[in-house]
Structure 1
């Protein structure tokens, strides 16, 4: 082999080695850079619901019924209804709101929202939401003892006379006094009698609603 050929061969080998070294160095750098940017991702923790004692924040994933307003269109157990009016009721330091609802078939129901104190010192306050459905009373007057309704025995729970203030369309005066008598059956069913003083008694069964049963479809225009 001539001297010229050996020189050319040596230069070719050197060039290949240089290119291979540069490629390996680039590959190591890319791996290093990729490792530096891939940080471990912490698992996403679901946000905790706010305490019910804070108005407007019963939970991050369901509507607080205390924020309902007259004129709102809402969803109750999957059915759209309109909030026609509200009764703001006060009795012996307790306060609650009774919302008058109308569904697409123009049926009327009432929704009661009240913050209840715990039964004992270790039990925190809780939000009670009840959906009321009228039942025919046929002139019945709530007894101070137990009574029978639809073959079910109900026992006295609470009764009294509360002051109320009307907002929107409630079918009741702007202000007045409201007599009520609440009963509970042994199976937990609730029955309530109400009357504006000077008017006849009406009665309704109550259905407790769990959180998430109410949603906002559209807010009333301010």
Structure 2
């Protein structure tokens, strides 16, 4: 075999080897789903959906009345019911302060309206105004325990417990000043259960759920 023939055969073998390598490489890429684009078009970049705008929160005192401006003697409308504010309790406990107003809707059904500025529960969450309308329920001799309570088939978990100092104004059936024991519970559906007692007396209990902003309208006394 002449050197020229040997060179030609060597080049032919090398060419065949390169073709086989290219064939197997392409086949492997196709199985892995990484085959190159064949359309010749440049793929468009993935566009992320724009985030939904945050809900616009109403402004207390501008978009709706500020419940903190309620005074004893005012008439308010809450959930379609007009009530007279007979009296108020101004309470404090461990640096927290809140107000409870006794309401009379004219049918001898008395309810308490509590108003408190609460800190945000999550990091970065701003404080929010919590307004609760409390409806008395029979305590049936129940004593608030430090564990979960089951009332009418609903489990309530302990939230806060302590003794608050209070100052009364108007008609409240309470002394002008004193100490009030309380125990608050919350159910998974957001319903609240609270026990209160004037020291030395028996427990009373009430249910409540938070009121939405703008639920209350205020008619100041003349």
- TM-score, scaled to structure 2: 0.72
Paired residue secondary structure (1:66): helix
Could you say which residue in structure 1 is the equivalent of 2:13? Answer: none
Equivalence map 1:41-190=2 (5 Å): 50=59, 58-190=60-192
Q: CA deviation at 1:186?
A: 1.6
Q: CA deviation at 1:106?
A: 2.2
Could you say which residue in structure 1 is the equivalent of 2:195? Answer: 193
1: CA distance, partners of 2:209 / 2:80: 15
- TM-score, scaled to structure 1: 0.72
Contact 2:113 2:134 in 1 (8 A): yes
1: CA distance, partners of 2:86 / 2:128: 26
Q: CA deviation at 1:220?
A: 2.1
Contact 2:196 2:203 in 1 (8 A): yes
Contact 2:91 2:166 in 1 (8 A): yes
Q: CA deviation at 1:202?
A: 0.3
Contact 1:49 1:59 in 2 (8 A): no
Q: CA deviation at 1:49?
A: 5.1
1: CA distance, partners of 2:58 / 2:154: 38
Paired residue secondary structure (1:158): strand
Could you tell me which runs of 5 or more consecutive residues in structure 1 were left unpaired when the two chains were aligned: 1-47, 51-57
2: CA distance, partners of 1:76 / 1:49: 18
1: CA distance, partners of 2:187 / 2:130: 18
2: CA distance, partners of 1:171 / 1:145: 30
